[in-house]
Structure 1
């Protein structure tokens, strides 16, 4: 596809809801601007902007003429979502789209995203450090460490059976409301390595409790032979050379190593 046509199919919602909006444009102008650039007649672009503002919960009569500084963070993020949908894209990338919002507003925006996903038949790529948000919103999850994929699979499969040590550490760090399941020890120690000069072999080995000398020499590749879904770990590879090969996981049980 030509780049302009590709851009009309892929839109993005940024983390900072204020800096991603032009302070000199009204809310209506911000949403209508992109369709006009892509050849939509001005009147139709304005009508589309008003419809989308109403769809994301911002009544056009009250909000269309306002400027970004006159809105709250949650309202500005709703404007960004409406703007992303103005070209009727197939894919929307959301980069930490709710991390700057308080929890009550975050819940409203997440429910809005689910409704819009169903209404407009959207595909989301949702980037987040909040594992609860990922579980609520996403059908599939990709866990990355130092710019590399370490585990990928259906959300419930990965959450129920985390195979990679980093994934297990992430899930162990999630706060629990149950006082009998408090986190008493840090799941991980040390700091992430320099991504410009990553360690040899497995990039996670300096922080992995199950690291062995071979982890420093051999870089793992994604394999689903033992874990049930793709995992980048020598323990998950039949010929990985690790002394603790991962047992084949049973649905509903956490992955374990001897």
Structure 2
């Protein structure tokens, strides 16, 4: 995403110039932000993207975004192309900047371990629809939706004696242009019933953000009024899908 014909300094100052900042002020802010992301301006300001490593380029991208003074930063697969050692450095940098600058991140990723490390709250989506949302500890310790459970079960075990021999999901994802009726996950869900095809589940309970009791999930089996055969047992016992249901 960096222009190969612009130096690091020019890339960072570009947005400030577009907003009407003087070049001298832009250079000062860019140099300050380079230091904040761990790059010495004297060494890196006049370099071009091809003269940087992957981790250094990502730091420049972070500096370029933060120089604009945002309150909210959207990071889409921000570390997916980096080596693991460099990924860890960038993630630690993001966490430090979040605390130092009082930032809010929307962090989009398919790496479940990265999501767990960087997030306070997690939103799980399937085929363009939210299926579960809640505090990161609650999602990872007690997932409610069958898709969330399958995602977490797909992570490789660190113990060679506990190998995953059965895939947590079967079948292919449906065509997003022509999704299934009702619950979009029903074609791959082992708990699907007629009600799942008839109506789309809502995120329930509709608790305010920060509530400590339960977290919202879009699944008929967690809605006592849905008509799903397992809904009554789950609501009465508080059990998790796949354990006692």
Task: Tell me whether the two structures share a fold, i.e. TM-score over 0.5.
Answer: yes
The change in CA–CA distance for 1:243 and 1:212 in structure 2 (over 3 A counts) is: same
Q: Report deviation, 1:224.
A: 2.2
Q: Is the 8 A contact 2:196 2:220 kept in 1?
A: yes
RMSD: 1.6
Q: Is the 8 A contact 1:161 1:249 kept in 2?
A: no
Q: Is the 8 A contact 1:244 1:257 kept in 2?
A: no
**TM-score, with structure 1 as normaliser:** 0.87
Listed one character per residue, the Cα deviations across residues 20-78 of structure 1 (whole Å, up to 9, x for unaligned) are 11111100110111112112221111111111111111111111101111111111111
Report the equivalent of 1:157: 138
Equivalence map 1:51-70=2 (5 Å): 51-70=32-51
**Unmatched 5+ stretches in structure 1:** 1-19
Listed one character per residue, the Cα deviations across residues 134-153 of structure 1 (whole Å, up to 9, x for unaligned) are 11000000000000000000
The change in CA–CA distance for 1:200 and 1:211 in structure 2 (over 3 A counts) is: same
The change in CA–CA distance for 1:165 and 1:157 in structure 2 (over 3 A counts) is: same
Listed one character per residue, the Cα deviations across residues 159-193 of structure 1 (whole Å, up to 9, x for unaligned) are 11100000000000112212243211111111111
Partner Cα distance (2:147, 2:193) in 1:
15
Partner Cα distance (1:257, 1:213) in 2:
21
Partner Cα distance (1:257, 1:195) in 2:
32
Report the equivalent of 2:92: 111
Equivalence map 1:110-189=2 (5 Å): 110-189=91-170
User: Aligned with 2:96: secondary structure?
Assistant: helix
Moved more, 32-41 or 80-89: 32-41
Q: Is the 8 A contact 2:204 2:218 kept in 1?
A: yes
2:46 aligned with 1:46: no
Moved more, 88-97 or 35-44: 35-44
Partner Cα distance (2:119, 2:133) in 1:
12
Q: Report deviation, 1:210.
A: 1.0
Q: Is the 8 A contact 1:228 1:248 kept in 2?
A: no
Q: Is the 8 A contact 1:169 1:187 kept in 2?
A: yes
Q: Report deviation, 1:212.
A: 1.3
2:16 aligned with 1:30: no
User: Aligned with 2:132: secondary structure?
Assistant: strand
Partner Cα distance (2:237, 2:102) in 1:
33
Partner Cα distance (1:50, 1:97) in 2:
22
Report the equivalent of 1:76: 57
Higher RCO by CA contacts (8 Å cutoff, separation 6 or greater): 1
Report the equivalent of 1:240: 226
Partner Cα distance (2:216, 2:161) in 1:
32
**Unmatched 5+ stretches in structure 2:** 207-212
Partner Cα distance (2:82, 2:50) in 1:
16
| Count of aligned residue pairs for this structure pair | 236
**Runs of 4 or more off by more than 4 Å in structure 1?**
247-250
